[in-house]
Amino acid sequence: MPKVASSNVTLFKKWINGDSNFAVEGGKIFCTLCMKSYEFKKKWQFDMHKKSEQHLARDKAQSTDRKQQQLLRDVVSWEIRPEVQEFSRDVTMAFLKEGIPLHKLEKEHSRSRKIIL
């Protein structure tokens, strides 16, 4: 039976195999220790990075001393709560009924966002 090609993301997830120091982001491997994104083409490149002095030194550093970049998927919730979605729809409809163009609200966006949230 012929081999089936895997996508890069699938391969990267196999390479990482649950290692919390790495994450797959946008088709690249992100090293949370080095705080860099890498485009590895071969597994040996990934293995070489894991064995590099820079990576190993950061791995041995105390967890309190090391800064760790938060990933977008961990910070942002992609699911909108139903009550927020309903509120947004109601506010949008109210502005449209009154003839207020939504693009004019961009200046007030940050101020109103603080009030809403």
Dihedral in degrees, nearest 10, Cα atoms 39, 45, 51, 55: -10
Question: Looking at the whole model, is its pTM more than 0.75?
Answer: no
Domain boundaries, the chain: 8-66, 75-116
Confidence of residue 61 (pLDDT cuts 50, 70, 90): confident
Distance CA 33, CA 84 (A): 36
- At residue 37, φ and ψ (nearest 5 deg) are -105, 135
Confidence of residue 48 (pLDDT cuts 50, 70, 90): very high
Q: What does the pLDDT read at residue 73?
A: 62
Q: What does the pLDDT read at residue 14?
A: 87
Distance CA 13, CA 30 (A): 11
Q: Which of 38, 34, 19 is nearest to 66 (CA)?
A: 34
Given a cut of 60, is residue 85 above it in pLDDT?
yes
Across 104-114, b (16+ Cβ under 10 Å) vs e yields eeeeeeeeeee
Confidence of residue 44 (pLDDT cuts 50, 70, 90): very high
Q: What does the pLDDT read at residue 26?
A: 78
